[in-house]
Structure 1
Amino acid sequence: MEAFNDYFGGGFSGLILQEIREYRSLAYSAGGNFSSPKNAGSPTNFIGYVGTQADKTITAMETFNGLIRDMPVKPERIDMIRDHLQLSALTKRPNFRGLASTVERWKKQGYDVDPMLVNMPAYKNITWDTVKEYYKTNIKDKPVVYMIVGDKRNIKMDELKQFGKIIEIKEKNLFTK
């Protein structure tokens, strides 16, 4: 999961930000990742986001959907991902005030020791196939839900239908004042 997150949504070197913001100038911000489940054995989900102008919504969604449905293959990035995961694991330490809650979270996630000790050997052995298989198993051809927050008068609503059924939610039901 972490190798996939680094490749697909990992900051400035992640595919989402590069493809949507850097290469195409479709968004102010973009990203996404799988979150670690709070409890061992619980499901996880992928959450992605694109912060864009209303007039670029459809193109940004088409691009984002394209990344999800047919992930670009860039195996030359695997060394960078492997190095990043290893170095991050070595430098991530809870501070003394958060140590107790961090250890408690690790226990809920199924770890008896610092996850770095468990994950480091796996990080050293990550290959492009690790990322590719995670994508095939967890994202490719899976159901997707898109949420758009914005003024529908500025979005081509008829073009949104290509992404599935549209359910409109009133602002008063979404936000509290």
Structure 2
Amino acid sequence: MIAIHNFKKLIGKKVSRFLIVVWPPFGEAKMLDVDISIGLIVDEHEGVFHIQIDKDDCWTPIVSETCFDEIFEWCKFQQRIDDWMKCQIDGPLQNEVFDATHESIFGNIVSEEILDIECITLKSKFNPFAIKICFRDDSILVSPISDGTTIETSLFNKTNSLGVFRSLGDIEFIPLKDAEKRI
């Protein structure tokens, strides 16, 4: 079950750095198969809030505080993804982190306040499988895929990742404050 109190800490905070965290997509065929999660540094906080889908159950959104040793420039993102997908990189299989803070496609996220976080669940039973982090003019959808996590914003990685879940039933978007009442 989702740990709502861990996500609640983020509401009202401004994103000062935005990181894209990727598990190397060795031999994957399409972007929807690439395990992509996010790292947020908020306000003056030192650590990174890593938001992803729990690998133990492949369903539950989780947030944990961490730090990353190596962070690539965003300009290397697409080339490294393409090379991993073509099996052209022999590096160790470990998360690769890309700093997307200064990219215009994330301009409505960086330096913006997290207004709310919505739990995404099937109407039939409250058991959130995704979250939507809401900003004034954009949002970040964090949802499961077969290999882990994917994210979408208004301008990045538009893969319709919720489409597969709609086949399981009606989907609800429940603000965090209302989700507390359902646990």
The TM-score normalised by the length of structure 1 is 0.23
Greater helix proportion: 1
| More strand per residue | 2
TM-score by length of 2: 0.23
